[in-house]
Amino acid sequence: MRSSIALSLVLLGSCAHDAAPATTDASTDREGLRVFHCDEGQVVLVRPIARGVDIGWGDRRETLMRIAGLTDEIYVGGGFTFERSEDEATLDVGPRTLRCERGAASRRLESLAEDGVRIYAGGSEPFWWLTIGRDRFVLEQVGAERSDDGAIERVEHRAARDVYAGTAGDEPLRVDVERRLCHDGMSGAPFPAEVVVRLGAIELRGCGVFLEE
Protein backbone atom coordinates (compact mmCIF):
# COMPACT_ATOMS: atom_id res chain seq x y z
CA MET A 1 0.00 0.00 0.00
CA ARG A 2 2.79 2.44 0.83
CA SER A 3 4.11 2.57 -2.75
CA SER A 4 0.74 3.59 -4.18
CA ILE A 5 0.27 6.10 -1.37
CA ALA A 6 3.67 7.62 -2.05
CA LEU A 7 2.79 8.18 -5.69
CA SER A 8 -0.57 9.73 -4.90
CA LEU A 9 1.05 12.14 -2.46
CA VAL A 10 2.80 13.86 -5.36
CA LEU A 11 -0.66 15.06 -6.34
CA LEU A 12 -1.43 15.99 -2.75
CA GLY A 13 1.57 18.27 -2.43
CA SER A 14 3.88 16.20 -0.24
CA CYS A 15 6.79 17.64 -2.20
CA ALA A 16 5.45 21.19 -2.18
CA HIS A 17 6.57 24.00 0.07
CA ASP A 18 4.35 25.09 2.94
CA ALA A 19 2.21 28.04 1.96
CA ALA A 20 -0.09 30.48 3.67
CA PRO A 21 -3.68 29.26 3.98
CA ALA A 22 -5.93 30.07 1.06
CA THR A 23 -8.26 31.73 3.55
CA THR A 24 -8.28 32.48 7.25
CA ASP A 25 -12.04 32.00 7.65
CA ALA A 26 -12.16 28.53 9.19
CA SER A 27 -15.43 27.13 10.47
CA THR A 28 -16.09 24.53 13.11
CA ASP A 29 -18.17 22.28 10.85
CA ARG A 30 -14.94 20.80 9.40
CA GLU A 31 -13.19 20.03 12.68
CA GLY A 32 -14.24 16.39 12.51
CA LEU A 33 -12.87 15.72 9.01
CA ARG A 34 -10.55 12.71 8.89
CA VAL A 35 -8.50 11.72 5.84
CA PHE A 36 -7.12 8.25 5.17
CA HIS A 37 -4.75 7.11 2.41
CA CYS A 38 -5.54 3.59 1.28
CA ASP A 39 -4.57 0.80 -1.11
CA GLU A 40 -4.72 1.57 -4.83
CA GLY A 41 -3.93 5.22 -4.09
CA GLN A 42 -7.43 5.85 -2.78
CA VAL A 43 -7.96 8.96 -0.66
CA VAL A 44 -10.89 8.46 1.73
CA LEU A 45 -12.52 11.46 3.40
CA VAL A 46 -14.62 10.75 6.50
CA ARG A 47 -16.99 13.33 8.02
CA PRO A 48 -18.98 12.62 11.18
CA ILE A 49 -22.77 12.88 11.13
CA ALA A 50 -25.40 11.94 13.71
CA ARG A 51 -24.93 8.22 14.52
CA GLY A 52 -22.63 7.66 11.58
CA VAL A 53 -20.23 9.04 8.99
CA ASP A 54 -20.38 10.53 5.53
CA ILE A 55 -17.59 8.86 3.57
CA GLY A 56 -16.19 9.65 0.13
CA TRP A 57 -13.61 7.95 -2.10
CA GLY A 58 -12.98 8.20 -5.82
CA ASP A 59 -16.25 9.53 -7.22
CA ARG A 60 -18.34 7.67 -4.59
CA ARG A 61 -20.03 9.15 -1.55
CA GLU A 62 -22.00 7.09 0.95
CA THR A 63 -23.64 7.54 4.34
CA LEU A 64 -22.75 4.73 6.75
CA MET A 65 -24.31 4.22 10.17
CA ARG A 66 -22.40 3.04 13.21
CA ILE A 67 -23.23 -0.40 14.60
CA ALA A 68 -24.54 0.23 18.12
CA GLY A 69 -23.26 -1.61 21.16
CA LEU A 70 -19.70 -2.13 19.92
CA THR A 71 -16.59 -0.49 21.35
CA ASP A 72 -14.92 -0.59 17.90
CA GLU A 73 -15.90 1.99 15.30
CA ILE A 74 -17.71 -0.04 12.63
CA TYR A 75 -20.00 1.66 10.12
CA VAL A 76 -22.19 -0.01 7.49
CA GLY A 77 -24.48 1.05 4.67
CA GLY A 78 -25.07 0.64 0.95
CA GLY A 79 -23.20 -2.65 0.93
CA PHE A 80 -20.02 -1.02 2.33
CA THR A 81 -18.29 -1.40 5.69
CA PHE A 82 -15.80 1.02 7.22
CA GLU A 83 -13.92 -0.05 10.35
CA ARG A 84 -11.56 2.29 12.15
CA SER A 85 -9.07 1.77 14.97
CA GLU A 86 -7.06 4.89 15.88
CA ASP A 87 -5.12 5.87 12.73
CA GLU A 88 -5.72 2.66 10.79
CA ALA A 89 -8.88 1.58 9.00
CA THR A 90 -10.33 -0.81 6.46
CA LEU A 91 -12.97 -0.10 3.84
CA ASP A 92 -14.87 -3.04 2.35
CA VAL A 93 -16.01 -2.11 -1.16
CA GLY A 94 -17.71 -5.15 -2.63
CA PRO A 95 -15.14 -7.85 -3.38
CA ARG A 96 -12.20 -5.69 -2.22
CA THR A 97 -10.99 -4.60 1.20
CA LEU A 98 -8.85 -1.48 1.20
CA ARG A 99 -6.32 -1.07 4.00
CA CYS A 100 -5.97 2.56 5.05
CA GLU A 101 -3.82 4.71 7.30
CA ARG A 102 -3.94 8.26 8.60
CA GLY A 103 -0.41 9.66 8.43
CA ALA A 104 1.36 12.97 7.93
CA ALA A 105 -0.13 13.64 4.49
CA SER A 106 -3.62 12.94 5.85
CA ARG A 107 -3.10 15.40 8.67
CA ARG A 108 -1.87 18.01 6.20
CA LEU A 109 -5.18 17.83 4.33
CA GLU A 110 -7.11 17.95 7.60
CA SER A 111 -5.14 21.03 8.62
CA LEU A 112 -5.87 22.71 5.29
CA ALA A 113 -9.58 22.00 5.78
CA GLU A 114 -9.45 23.57 9.23
CA ASP A 115 -7.83 26.64 7.64
CA GLY A 116 -10.81 26.95 5.31
CA VAL A 117 -9.43 25.34 2.16
CA ARG A 118 -12.32 23.95 0.14
CA ILE A 119 -10.51 22.34 -2.80
CA TYR A 120 -7.03 20.82 -3.02
CA ALA A 121 -5.80 19.90 -6.49
CA GLY A 122 -2.61 19.05 -8.31
CA GLY A 123 -1.00 17.33 -11.23
CA SER A 124 2.24 16.28 -12.88
CA GLU A 125 4.11 17.11 -16.10
CA PRO A 126 4.72 19.71 -14.80
CA PHE A 127 4.19 19.26 -11.07
CA TRP A 128 1.78 21.76 -9.55
CA TRP A 129 -0.72 22.10 -6.74
CA LEU A 130 -3.55 24.47 -5.93
CA THR A 131 -5.64 25.40 -2.90
CA ILE A 132 -8.92 27.27 -3.15
CA GLY A 133 -10.50 28.79 -0.07
CA ARG A 134 -13.55 30.95 0.47
CA ASP A 135 -12.05 33.98 -1.21
CA ARG A 136 -8.40 33.27 -2.09
CA PHE A 137 -6.23 30.78 -3.96
CA VAL A 138 -2.61 29.66 -3.88
CA LEU A 139 -1.03 28.09 -6.98
CA GLU A 140 2.41 26.49 -6.77
CA GLN A 141 4.22 25.38 -9.93
CA VAL A 142 7.03 23.25 -8.53
CA GLY A 143 9.04 22.70 -11.71
CA ALA A 144 8.81 26.34 -12.75
CA GLU A 145 9.68 27.45 -9.20
CA ARG A 146 6.75 29.83 -9.38
CA SER A 147 4.13 30.63 -6.75
CA ASP A 148 1.03 32.76 -7.28
CA ASP A 149 -1.77 33.78 -4.97
CA GLY A 150 -4.69 36.11 -5.28
CA ALA A 151 -8.36 36.76 -4.70
CA ILE A 152 -11.23 34.64 -5.97
CA GLU A 153 -13.45 37.30 -7.53
CA ARG A 154 -16.25 35.21 -9.02
CA VAL A 155 -17.64 31.70 -8.62
CA GLU A 156 -20.14 30.04 -10.97
CA HIS A 157 -21.89 26.87 -9.83
CA ARG A 158 -23.17 24.75 -12.69
CA ALA A 159 -24.72 21.28 -12.81
CA ALA A 160 -21.51 19.28 -12.39
CA ARG A 161 -18.90 22.01 -12.68
CA ASP A 162 -17.73 24.95 -10.60
CA VAL A 163 -15.81 27.79 -12.25
CA TYR A 164 -13.57 30.05 -10.17
CA ALA A 165 -12.22 33.32 -11.58
CA GLY A 166 -9.66 35.71 -10.12
CA THR A 167 -6.34 37.40 -10.74
CA ALA A 168 -2.72 36.85 -9.78
CA GLY A 169 -0.90 40.13 -10.22
CA ASP A 170 -2.06 41.32 -13.63
CA GLU A 171 -2.81 37.83 -15.01
CA PRO A 172 -6.34 36.40 -15.14
CA LEU A 173 -7.00 33.08 -13.43
CA ARG A 174 -9.74 30.57 -14.27
CA VAL A 175 -10.19 27.22 -12.54
CA ASP A 176 -12.72 24.66 -13.81
CA VAL A 177 -13.57 21.96 -11.28
CA GLU A 178 -15.71 19.22 -12.78
CA ARG A 179 -17.26 16.53 -10.59
CA ARG A 180 -16.17 13.47 -12.51
CA LEU A 181 -13.79 10.62 -11.79
CA CYS A 182 -10.20 11.71 -12.44
CA HIS A 183 -7.12 9.48 -12.42
CA ASP A 184 -3.75 10.98 -11.53
CA GLY A 185 -1.49 10.79 -14.56
CA MET A 186 1.47 9.54 -12.53
CA SER A 187 -0.02 7.04 -10.07
CA GLY A 188 -3.42 6.28 -11.61
CA ALA A 189 -5.00 7.05 -8.23
CA PRO A 190 -8.71 8.00 -8.44
CA PHE A 191 -10.05 11.37 -7.29
CA PRO A 192 -13.54 12.90 -7.39
CA ALA A 193 -12.78 15.97 -9.51
CA GLU A 194 -11.09 16.88 -12.77
CA VAL A 195 -9.38 20.27 -12.54
CA VAL A 196 -8.18 22.63 -15.27
CA VAL A 197 -6.24 25.75 -14.27
CA ARG A 198 -5.63 28.60 -16.68
CA LEU A 199 -3.33 31.40 -15.55
CA GLY A 200 -2.54 33.82 -18.35
CA ALA A 201 -1.11 31.66 -21.14
CA ILE A 202 -0.45 28.70 -18.81
CA GLU A 203 -2.81 25.70 -18.75
CA LEU A 204 -2.48 22.98 -16.11
CA ARG A 205 -4.56 19.80 -15.83
CA GLY A 206 -4.93 17.47 -12.89
CA CYS A 207 -7.21 16.06 -10.21
CA GLY A 208 -8.62 17.34 -6.96
CA VAL A 209 -10.44 16.54 -3.73
CA PHE A 210 -13.19 18.46 -1.96
CA LEU A 211 -12.23 19.25 1.63
CA GLU A 212 -15.53 21.03 2.15
CA GLU A 213 -18.89 20.06 0.70
| One-letter amino acid for residue 79 of the chain | G
pTM higher than the cut 0.85: no
Q: pLDDT tens for residues 56-112?
A: 998 889 999 999 878 789 999 999 999 998 899 999 998 899 999 999 989 999 999
Span 114-131, pLDDT tens digits: 999 999 999 987 899 999
What percentage of residues in the chain have a pLDDT greater than 70? 85
**Looking at 14-23, 67-76, 167-176, which range is the least confident one?**
14-23
pLDDT level of residue 213 (50, 70, 90 thresholds): low
Q: Which region among 5-19, 94-108, 187-201 has the lowest average model confidence (pLDDT)?
A: 5-19
Q: Where are the beta strands (DSSP E) in the chain?
A: 34-38, 43-49, 52-57, 60-66, 73-77, 80-85, 88-93, 96-101, 119-123, 128-132, 136-141, 146-157, 161-168, 171-178, 182-183, 190-191, 193-199, 202-210
